[in-house]
Amino acid sequence: MNIRDFADRDRIVLDVAARDVMDALHAAATAAAPRLQSDVSQLVAALLARERLGSTAVGMGFAIPHGKVNGVSTVDLSLVRFAGPVDFGAPDDSPVRFLFVVFSPPEQPTAHLKILSQIARVLKREDLRQALLEAPDRDEVIAALRRAADAEGL
């Protein structure tokens, strides 16, 4: 499993309205719930539990909220871009505009860490960050993610 496996239109939601972290996490959970056959509140709870340990914002307008959820059978990734900035308490104080949201089963910690590592790796690329923030549609998000994954050998 690698980040390229998650580059598809059904996993991408663009220009979501969110006022705060709770709105942002709810939007992310709502996007993933049908695919995971999970309850939105259960997914939000998993994301909030992790967020309480410390902000998942990594700076430069991006965050990687993630959670382990009982009943989820495999690692899942959603990409969510907001219409406007959301304060996530980022280390560089920049508001978040884009989320990489990971849900995984508790019994798959290696897979969970592997996808988080790959996300962190591609987000180091300024060209990817810019492309994701400016992409006019989901197809361009997919193309940008695939280009970055190829460049990183993922």
Residues 6 or more apart whose CB falls under 8 angstroms from that of 5 comprise none
Rounded CA gap, 21 and 51, in Å? 9
SS3 152: coil
Within 13 Å and on the Cβ side, how many CA atoms surround 96?
32
Closest C-alpha to 6, from 40, 25, 31: 31
Tell me the catalytic residues.
Answer: 66
Rounded CA gap, 72 and 62, in Å? 25
